[in-house]
Amino acid sequence: MSSTFLSPFAKPIYVMLKPIGAVCNLACEYCYYLEKSHFYPEVKNHILTDELLEKFIKEYIECQTTPEILFTWHGGETLMRPISFYKKALELQRKYGRGRQIDNCIQTNGTLLTDEWCLFFKENNFLVGVSIDGPQEFHDEYRRNKQGLPSFYKVMKGIELLKKHQVEYNAMAVVNDYNVDFPLEFYNFFKSIDCHYIQFSPIVERMKQNKLSTPDEKDQEVTLAPFSVDAMKWGEFLCAIFDEWLKSDVGTYYIQLFDSTLANWVGEQPGVCTLAKTCGHAGVMEFNGDMYACDHFVFPEYKLGNIRTRSITEMMYSTEQIRFGNDKQDKLPTQCKACEFLFACNGECPKNRFLYTANGEYGLNYLCVGFKKFFNHVAPYMDFMKQELLAKRPPANVMEWAKEKNK
């Protein structure tokens, strides 16, 4: 491991691993990943080999600068690989980990979960992320299989199995053009299934000639995908759920975006990369060893190399990856740099920066108006929670304060 690429002040790096590539048993209409299989037309079997698995695990452990190590398994659909594959991965983690704390999280659409899978996850302390877009009507709008059949029932069955075996799980919910109009129905659904950890992911995709465009595409032929969330409605959605959460759920239901906003308010590192100052410390490795700058930037121009010829350390600390990470801050339009909420937003995800400012400067985030509405709305409550944290009191005190404030 070369000291050329590491410093004692380096952030932990994450490389999301795709053991099955862009292969899935569902065909969700808004999925940004399934079309990545077109980059590998000559490959029939998109499966990570045991040889590459071992090479990845060894190098990934070696390149970490913190005592704890997190492996993230992502798809496609991760459960299309057998349990034996993940058992092999755990053996390799123990072999190369040399006693270090190693954790695993895995993202799944939930439809293939069984008692056997859930027992395995429980026994090995996996955190399971389940993709579910709210109640049946919302979820089945876009999340269907290749025959066009709905998936909600199978996902709910999977969640019940996770709960039965007491597996720690969270929900990853995509907010789109349809469910954004029903924030309280959406939020109350997760409460009704006793899901206490929720991630909201706004879907914003652009298309060119019926294919997803690259994030920095400026061609006039590029159009917003019809399932993309409306920017202002996104802000209204967040405000409505925040107000409901404020009534009695602070400290018992954890919404990643709210937690990350508070982290930025107090000057801590947010738990979601989209709100961080820079990016570039979370890459992705495909089934064949190709590494890319980010899960949302799996395009040829953002390829860092291949693990067979270049180490993870080299690629993640390379000049091109450092530049990619710093571009988030360096390429902010003047309007963003002057914004009172820059500290909270940091321009959000670079893939969504395709609008022009009032002065004609490129790079304004599509979701800007929505986030601005949200930050304006929550500012007094975030200020209060910040003070409570600084005084070493629970931020949940905001609930009583809000009741008094809003009398």
Question: In the numeric block, which tokens belong to residue 290?
Answer: 């190709």
> What is the chain's length?
407
Whole-number Å distance between alpha carbons of 23 and 61 = 26
> How many Cβ atoms sit within 10 Å of the Cβ of residue 78?
23
Active site residue 295: yes
Whole-number Å distance between alpha carbons of 357 and 364 = 6
| Amino acid of residue 99 | G
Whole-number Å distance between alpha carbons of 292 and 17 = 11
Active-site choice (103, 140, 243, 295): 295
Question: In the numeric block, which tokens belong to residue 69?
Answer: 């190590």
Provide the pairing of β-strand 197-202 with 254-255: parallel
DSSP state of 145: B
Provide the pairing of β-strand 254-255 with 206-208: unpaired
Question: In the numeric block, which tokens belong to residue 173?
Answer: 């919910």
Whole-number Å distance between alpha carbons of 58 and 245 = 42
- Residue whose token pair is 């955190």: 127
Give me the helices (H) in 272-367, please. Answer: 312-316, 319-330, 334-337, 342-345
158: Cα separation from own chain's centroid: 21
- Residue whose token pair is 């820059």: 342
User: Is the dihedral angle over the CA atoms 258, 261, 263, 269 positive or is it negative?
Assistant: positive
String of b and e for 202-235 (b: at least 16 CB within 10 Å)?
Answer: bbbbbbeeeebbbbbeeeeeeeebebbbbbebbb
Whole-number Å distance between alpha carbons of 282 and 271 = 12
Which residues are annotated as catalytic? 295
